[in-house]
Each structure stands twice: as structure tokens, then as C-alpha cells.
Amino acid sequence: MRFHHVGIVVANIEEQVKAFQASLGAEWDGQIFHDPNQKVRVAFVLTSPADAQIELIEPAGPDSPVSHFLEEKGGGMHHVCYTVADLSQALRDFKSRGAMIVRRAKPAVAFGGRMIAWVLTREKLLIEFLESPET
């Protein structure tokens, strides 16, 4: 597993990205991805080429899986993401440790159609797994 990004739920990417740029000196390429499979809009900011990215996640409608998180908690830190060489194996490994698979593998627009899946650990950490580009 390799750490890829941390996901942060925001109400509006265009408004919040400016705050991340100002407070962290983060760079943004101006891209926002709409992912109808995930029902979100996402953008990525980077503080340095060697660091993991920060993903800003905006609900793409009231039925988005992150809408409730935004309404109840006001947004904020949502998940961590790791790239994995074998997505199926990573899910089996985490399930054997007591994690619950909360979303089975689906293609993700922001990652060029690479598959992602989600688990929730016993410690209530939400983890997104992203298949490595070499897969």
C-alpha cells in the first residue's frame, strides 16, 4: 500500500480551494472532476511534488454519499486513500482484519477509470483503495 491522498468534504470546491491555496501554499491545476458513479465533484491540491495530495470532495446532489457528512458534521476530513497493486487482495486482507467493505469496486472518473473501493475499519477509519496504474 502506498499513501495517495486524504479526502476532505467541502460545500463548494471553487470557494474552498482558494483557502487551501492560501493556508497551505497548495497548488491546484484548475480541474474539477464530476463523477456520476460516486455522485461527487472532486479536485486535487498539492503542497509539494513529494507529498500526498489533498482531495476536495463536493456533493453532486442531495443523494451524494457525502451529503449527510456535510450536513451533519459540516464537512472536513473524510477518508484516507492508498494505492494498491491488487484491489481484490487488499479488500480480502482488510476484511480478514475485521473491516467492513462499504463500497465494492467501481471505476473512478478522477483516476482515469481505475477502480476504487471503500472499507471501514473497526476503528471507524474510512479507507479508499485505488488500484495502481500498473494493474
Show me where the domains of the chain are located: 2-131
The count of other CB atoms within 10 Å of the CB of residue 44 is 20
Residue 13 zone, left/alpha/beta (φ > 0; ψ -120 to 50; rest):
alpha
CA distance 91 to 105: 10
Looking at 3.40.190.80, 3.30.930.10, 1.10.287.1260, 3.10.180.10, the CATH number of the domain 2-131 comes to 3.10.180.10
Angle (CA) 26 38 29, round 5°: 25
Q: Which pTM was predicted? A: 0.93
Residue 134 has pLDDT above 90, yes or no: no
Beta 115-120 vs 2-9: how paired, if at all?
unpaired
CA distance 125 to 4: 15
Q: What is the mean pLDDT of residues 53-82?
A: 95
Tell me the per-residue pLDDT of 17-33, one tens digit each, with 9 for 90 and over: 999 999 999 999 999 99
